[in-house]
Structure formats: C-alpha cells, structure tokens
Structure 1
Amino acid sequence: MSATTTLPAWQLPDRDLTTRLLATQRQQNIAYAEQLETIRELDSRGTVPEGYSSTAAYLATILHLTPREARSRLAQATGSLPLTGKALTAGEITAQHAAVIAEFLAAAPRWLTPEDYTVAEDTLVTLAQQANPSTVRRAATRLKIYWDNDPSDDEPDSDADPDAASGSSSASGSARPWREFRWHWTRAGRFRFTGNVDQETGTLIEQLLVPLAAPDPATAPGTPDPRTPAERHGDAVAAIVDLAARTPDLPTKAGERAVATVTVSLETLQNAAKTVFTDDESVLPASHLRRILCDAKVYPAVLGTEGQVLDMGRATRTATNAQRRALAVRDRGCTFPGCDRGPKWTTPHHVVHWSDGGPTDLGNLASCCERHHRLLHHSGWRITIRNGVVYWIPPSILDPEQKPLRNTAHNPPPEPLRSSRKPARRPASAPPPSAAAS
C-alpha cells in the first residue's frame, strides 16, 4: 500500500488528490462488478430467505435500494453482457454506464442477430470508456432510432406517430412537405402561435436560432445574460423576422465574429505567461488571447519605433467557410473524447498555434466546442492529427502514459447493422440474442 493511500486527503499535494480520485473511482467500479457477480450467484442458487417475494425484493431490503434500482442490478447481473462486464471488472466504466447499456440492450429489437447485438454492445462500451453515462444514453437513443427507421423494414409500425400519418401529402419524397402554422392575437395584444414543420425546415430554423439565441456576453464579471433560454429564443425569432424583411442582411452560418483591437508584439503573444491590454483597457493573459483568437480574424499592424502604424495587413487567420464544411464532414463535431456536440457548436482550433507559425489548413485544424476549446488552452491536454484523424493527448496527471484518445461519440451505427435486409424475425418465444451469444 502506497503512502498516498494511507495519508488523509488534506495532507496530499494537488497532483496526488487527482491520482487518488482516479484510483478510488476505479476501485468503486471493480467493487460494483464484484457485487453483480455475487448477485448473479445468489439468484442462480435460489437461496433467497423466506419472507421475500423475489431476489430483487431481497436486494432492495438488505442493500437499502429502491425497488427499481434492485431490479436494475439484478438485470445487469443475470443478463449476458460480456463486454460490459469485462470493462466494469477492469474498472474502465462505472455502474451508471453498465446500467444504461444493460437497459438499452434489454429493449433491443428481437430481429437482431447475436453478431449485431455484440457489435452494438462493443460500440456503447467503447464510448463509455471515454464519455459520461448521459452521452452513452444519447448514443444508444440514436442507435435505436436507426433500428426503428431501417428502410429495409417493410412492416408497418403500429406505434407510428398518428400526426405524421395524417400528413398523407408527405408520404413520398416527391410530395410537398407537411407544415402547419397557427396564430392568433390575444386580448392583451400578444401574437401567439403554434405549429410544426418537416425535418429539413426544422434543421434550417435550428441553424438560425442557435447563433441568434446565444447568451449576451457579461457586461461585467458576475453579470451573465439575465434572459432565460425561452426569452433568448423569443428574441432570436424576433431577429429572424426582422431580418427576413431585409433579405440581404440575413446572417450566414459561421460568419465573422466581432472585431476587437489588441496591440501586442509577436514575442508577447508567443509567451503565454505575459499579459496584454485590449482597446477597452481590460487586461488578460496572453494564453487567453490565443484561445480567443482561434476563431477571430487577425489584422496585424506593423508599428514603427515611435509606435506609428506603418502597415495594416489583411485577415489571414480564420478558416474559410469551405474549410469549416470540410471539418464538419471530417470531425462530425467536437473532437474531444466523449463529447457529442455537433459541428454547429464548434470552432476550428489551430493544432500548431497560428502565432507559432501554424498554417490555416485542414491538416492543422480540429473542431472543438467552447468548453473543450477552453480546456485545451488552459490545461495539459494536447491535440495531434494522424491520417486525418484527430487525437487528444491527456496530461500526465490523468494518464502517465499519455495515450492518444480518439472521440467515438459521433460514430455512425456499426457497419454490421447496415444490412440491405433485416434478418428474419424470431418468434416471440425465441431467446434474445444475448442468450444465444453466450
């Protein structure tokens, strides 16, 4: 037993606190796997004491669990989830991850083959090793949508949306899209409306709303935008309507951001430890400026010895719209391991900083959401690109080996599931694919 594990937390240096957090989480994961193994053995023996109606009821009582949690653990213990169990035993995923995966696969379509079932489990376990349970649940939901909408399924869906069925005019690709919009004036003079549109139009509306509904920057520290999300979206709709009357002024996606003037020497910009002054007399570290400038146009000013402006250059730093579209295709969104933010939430980041001579080309750009862009600039994470694939290298405090990690949160459904025809459906009495796989 190391000295780190025997010392109280308050006596540990900062780095060892992180080390202990990682170690104790791994221990919890392993202990949970051991508990599931014990539950499986208990259930298989049928030795639940008299007075309890089931194994789940017994677990709920002695472990002080809710009935739902007890049933969930029993299902995880008795189900056939070899890849999930292996990752849990190795301490690589948490109990919440295991619960999400088990719940999803238990509801998998009965037509899945054992191979399809195993590939689906592998996909979710791989993502669970780098993402939180909420992200894994969203990935599982996307996979379910893919299964439910397989074009090879020519059987009618009894659970189809009745509203969609009523829109018979959009039954085929050549028919007009089904859209509705209802409105009326209230007695208070308000314009109230409801409606729904097709997917293509909805996507376009979302692309307009997202940038326009962004929170306003704080006017001072601790004073964030006071509007609620609903109020911000209301203001965004008003802006869209106003701009629609002036079509040439409609906003374009990934347009130029606000211009700020910063007077700084190249030497200072390259030295992240120094501070710089903006034109509004605020002060910020050079490292913060470098992050901000990742998605801003830079107008270099060449100053003479007396400070006079000798020459003003042109904007040379930002990715073009064509490059942004290419990044959206290549990266599919934020490249941080486990992040499922889509392309519209990201900005291009220079792997080799532009101020250090890094070019603005696809081989030196990676998509990052705002949260992970900040993490990249102000922590020990680094990025590298190999054969067009973005890898994140964790700081040594998180991984002493600093193994490069690739994000799998944007991966499409597993290839074995992309069959031209679904396998024949098994009768209701047939065992689930997990049992067949075991």
Structure 2
Amino acid sequence: MSALGLASPLELLDELRRKVRALHQLQFQVLEIVGALDQQGAAESLGYKDLIELFKHTLRWDPRLSRRKLAQAKALCPAVTPSGAKVEPMLPLAAAAMATGDLSEDHIDVVAEAMAGLPAIAEVHLVDYAQQHEPRSAKAFYKELAYRLDQDGPEPKDPEPAQPRNVVRRQWKSGRYHLFADVDAETGAKLDALIDPLAKPGPADLRFAPEREGDAFCEVIDLAMRAGHQHISGGERVQLTVTLDYDKLRTGIGTARLDNGEQIPMHQVRKIACDAAVIPMLLGTRSQVHDVGRRTRTINAGLRRVLIARDKGCTFPGCDRPPSHCEAHHIQHWSNGGRTDLGNLALLCRRHHDLVHYSDWQLHMANGMPAYRPPAYVDPHRTPRHNQIHAVA
C-alpha cells in the first residue's frame, strides 16, 4: 500500500493544498518566461509571426491556451520600455498573490476581466476576496463591486453622426498597412461572399475568426493580383513593381522599393517573387535597368495543375489547407537561379509560406516530395517531416 493510502483524510488535504500552492507558483513562473519571450520579440527573431505559432511547434500548445498565457503574462509581468525603463505590471497585487501560490490562473482571468472596467484602487478588494473564494464567486463579487462604484451607469452618448456612403482609409505605419473601410451593404455582401469560403476553419485550424478572416482577405488580394481579368493600367495589366539593386538581390541583404515608395526587406522580395504577378526591376551600380520582368518564374496553368496533383494542398507538416488557399514556393529561390519546374516547387498556404521564408524551417525535396527539417529548438535531431494529411488523401 502506498504512503497516500496510509494517510488520513486531513493529512491528504494538507498535502493537496501544498501541491496546489506549488502548482500555482510554477504556473506564475511559466507566465514570467512567456512575458520575457514576448518582451524580447522572440517570435520575430526566430522567423515566426507571433508566439502563438512558435508555442504550437515547441510546446504543442493549442492557440487558445497560448492566447490565455500571453494575456495573463501582460497583466502580471513588468514591462521594459525602449529606453530601458521598467514599467510595473498592470495587476501588481494579483501578481504577488499568484507568485506565493494564493491565486490560480482562473482567478487571474477573473481579476483581469474585472479590472478592465474598474479603478486601480479596486484591485486590493478583488484580490483579497479571490484569495478566500473560488473564481465563480469572485466573478459575482466584482460585478456587485462594479455596480456599487457606478450605480448610475455610463453617461448617455450623443447620437453618432451619419457616415459617408463609402469610405476607405489607408495608412502605412511601422512596416504594416492599416486599412479601414465603411462601405454600402451591397459591397459588404460581395466582400463577405469572397472572404467567407476562404475563412472557414479546417479540422486542424485553431485560429480565431479575426485571424482567419484577415488571412482570407490577404488571399482575396492575391487572387485579384493573379486574376486574368484584371484592369488595364498604362497599356498593361495591373501588377506590382519592385525596384532593387542587383547586388542586393544576389546577396539577399538590404531592401527594395515598391512602386508606392515603401521599402521592404530583401527576404520578403524573395517570397513575393515565388508566385505573384510581380515584376522585379533590377538596377546596376549606377541604377541602370538590367532587367524588367523575367515572368517565367510564375508558374503557368498546366504546371500548377501538375503541382496540385502531386501536393494536394499545403505541404507543411500538419496543415490541411487545400490547393486553392496555396501559393507556389521556389525551394531554391528564383533570384538565386532556381528553376520554375516541378522539382523546385512546393505548395504552401500563406501562413506557412511566411514561416518557411522567415524562420529556420528548411524545405527540400526527398524522393520527389517536399520535406521539412524543423529548427533545433523544435526537434534537436532535426528529423525531416512530411505532411501526412495529404499523403493519405
């Protein structure tokens, strides 16, 4: 019989309390590490678009769990400004209570939700109550506390002024493109009809709706760029022109200029040159035009059909995105002499196309099929992986 079997109920309860307290302390330490990774921009430095994708591969965390951990870390962990100054956490009392094992992650969720609409002074009351009650009771307490602090409710707002019929605002900011649109119902319905089919989650797709719809919107842009019925501009079909220095293209270092004047890094030029109607304008040392076009790097309809027949969808391990959601990626970059043929191409969805270009995942051909060698922090042995979902399709 084990030692637990010989213990009395009170002894077992005491031991359980110690273990649970230690578990809460360990969970707080995990959040501290998550917060530090977020502060350091670890995802970007490793080629991932965010920590959610990084944790999916390194910790096998569900994106929902990753979002929860990140939100809790932002609330409980101190931050450091670009100048190096330390900023205290948003919930210092809750952080101290969890660090000693007095609050659980569920309690933290309740306190954080409550403090979003309460003054800072309310935290002491919330934490004190949460240390003595379960999360559900703490949630009822904060609702009553909020009512007592503001029995009159929010002041009535003036009616919103009428909006113009169709408005689009566009802005480049910190390397990102911010877009706001307020359009009529007919145009909105047409956009929904384009986005909805592309934004449907697959069996293994755990992204939240805003992220799926954002990726779908980007796919609509890509489809419009590739469409054969594009509008004519200046005697040619609409296309994106990228102006770059030949030596920068060869070395992969530096930036290129879009036709709107924005600068983009060279590794991003290599990505968009894989499967888009993009014309690179190569410049020599004196900015003379070396070449405009070389459109043979874009695959034709016949080659794409063969590629679809082989890959059946995104070739990244574990991805179930269909061919209609994929781009053709040059395994050896076109700018480095890579050929536009079946042996140098692989289908990748937009999300994993970015990952292959910007991270340490390495794509190569093995027995005529795309194979992926993961980074060492995902698999120390870097054992090649295949997408087994489409292999059995």
**TM-score normalised to structure 2 length:** 0.44
Going by fraction, where is strand more abundant, 1 or 2?
A: 2
